[in-house]
Amino acid sequence: MRGYTLIELVTVILLIGILAVVAIPRMFDAVAFRSRGFYNETAGAARYGQKLAVASGCSVQVIFSGNGFALYQRQSCGSGTFSRSVSRPEDSGSAFAATAPSGVTLSATSSAVVFDSLGRATPGGVTVSVNGRSFRINGESGYVEDL
């Protein structure tokens, strides 16, 4: 009277078999984890650049390359070239930049985006992809949205 029926046992074994075939190999794919982490870091950097531009009143440039990203501000707030590295908020000594891990690629429709003091992005409509996952930076609002 106590215990499981044969149908219940077969169903559980079948579900475990499906998980073993489909889900478990994905859990051990290190490139997929590194890709997702770098995607989140890149989108977060774009969002941080927009918020820093609004908070500081000085433009922020986000540069995207095939192997990473970096954030810069002008030497003087109003003019000049973007040559001063933005510091990470959690570690004020290190530059807000990152290089893609091995097996992860970054591509963007523009190599640089500048956020002004109102948070607008120039050029607008830039799409950034990291191993197939994409986000877009809206020009008028500077909003970074996942696609």
Q: What is the pLDDT of residues 90-112, one digit of tens each?
A: 877 789 999 999 889 999 999 99
Which range, of 19-28, 71-80, 96-105, averages the lowest pLDDT?
19-28
> So what's the pLDDT on residue 44?
95
Dihedral of CA 80/118/109/98: which sign?
positive
> So what's the pLDDT on residue 19?
85
β 112-115/97-99 pair status = unpaired
pTM value is: 0.79
The model's confidence at residue 28, banded by pLDDT at 50, 70 and 90, is confident
